[in-house]
Amino acid sequence: MSRAARLPDGAGGVIEVLRAGPLTTVQDLGRPGYAHLGVPRAGALDGPALRLANRLVGNAPDAAGLEVTAAGCSLRLVRAGTVALTGAWAPLSVAGRAAGFGLPVPVPAGAVVTVGRAVYGVRSYLAVGGGIAVEPVLGSRSTDTLSGLGPAPLRDGDPLPLGPAAEPSTVDFVPWRPPPGELALRITLGPRADWFTRDALAALLTTAYTVSPVSNRVGARLSGASLTRAEAGELPSEGVVLGAVQVPASGQPLIFLADHPTTGGYP
């Protein structure tokens, strides 16, 4: 607690990180509008899930929360407050007792909040009443794992400041059901579609791909049919956007996510 005690006066409260897990980061809705300066948007990979968690605890939709990856985390709230967990379904407990998913959960002062291993999906979102009040960078409190902007990923023992407690939410429960085992994504062919053979385009549009474990907040690598190029040359780097699909030399497509670079040289 000595590290938390060094927070500036006026902080609305403190969270102590007991177990950070493999990758827990502070995320809000990101910092759009800086791609021309080479700065990615970053922000929560599942924006609707973060907005919902914030709504459940009475925060503004763009308040910062925690994006918890796969294996969970444990935190201690120094002041009494309210938490809500959304996104990937994972067990939640407060002071050792099971708590509900997708609803506001009261937390006594000093109680430990534990997010367990995700059962469905990869990233869960934990909102705390008042929001995570780390210093913003370019208008956002989001951790950008590619550029290093924003707060570093959480470590065991880190203190996190909270903003002033929000008014209680009028939402008390959100229905939740597991996502389907197979998702269909809409795709729009881009300006480099002619760099691929007709067979490659047919494979992309008609065969199934799985998300590779070699994925992160920068991009989701896919495993499936290899996409054969019709052009053997190289492209100069050009601007790319969130959700863009690129195909490196391996022929396996990847989808750019929130921490993607602002330029890329693959078709």
Distance CA(217)–CA(245), nearest Å, equals 15
Task: Answer yes or no: is 76 within a domain.
Answer: yes
Total structural domains in the chain? 2
One domain for residues 137 and 219:
no
Question: What is the identity of the amino acid at 127?
Answer: A
The beta-carbon contacts of 245-252 under 8 Å, at least 24 apart in sequence, are 245/187, 245/190, 247/196, 250/226, 251/200, 251/226, 251/227, 252/212, 252/221, 252/222, 252/223, 252/224, 252/226, 252/227
Task: Answer yes or no: is 158 within a domain.
Answer: yes
Task: Answer yes or no: is 173 within a domain.
Answer: no
Task: Answer yes or no: is 134 within a domain.
Answer: yes
Task: Answer yes or no: is 167 within a domain.
Answer: no
Q: What is the CATH number of the domain that holds 210?
A: 2.40.100.10
One domain for residues 144 and 45:
yes
Tokens of 163: 């903003």
Residue span of the structural domain in which 21 resides? 2-162
Confidence of residue 240 (pLDDT cuts 50, 70, 90): very high
One domain for residues 157 and 101:
yes
Distance CA(253)–CA(106), nearest Å, equals 44
Confidence of residue 10 (pLDDT cuts 50, 70, 90): very low
Task: Answer yes or no: is 186 within a domain.
Answer: no
Q: Per residue in 37-65, pLDDT tens?
A: 999 999 999 999 999 999 999 999 999 99
**What confidence score (pLDDT) does residue 70 get?**
93
Q: Per residue in 138-163, pLDDT tens?
A: 999 999 999 999 999 999 999 999 99
**What confidence score (pLDDT) does residue 245 get?**
96
**What confidence score (pLDDT) does residue 8 get?**
41
pLDDT > 60? residue 203: yes
**What confidence score (pLDDT) does residue 172 get?**
75
One domain for residues 65 and 151:
yes
How does the average pLDDT of the chain come out, rounded?
A: 91
Distance CA(3)–CA(160), nearest Å, equals 10
- Please indicate whether residue 95 or residue 10 has the higher confidence score (pLDDT): 95
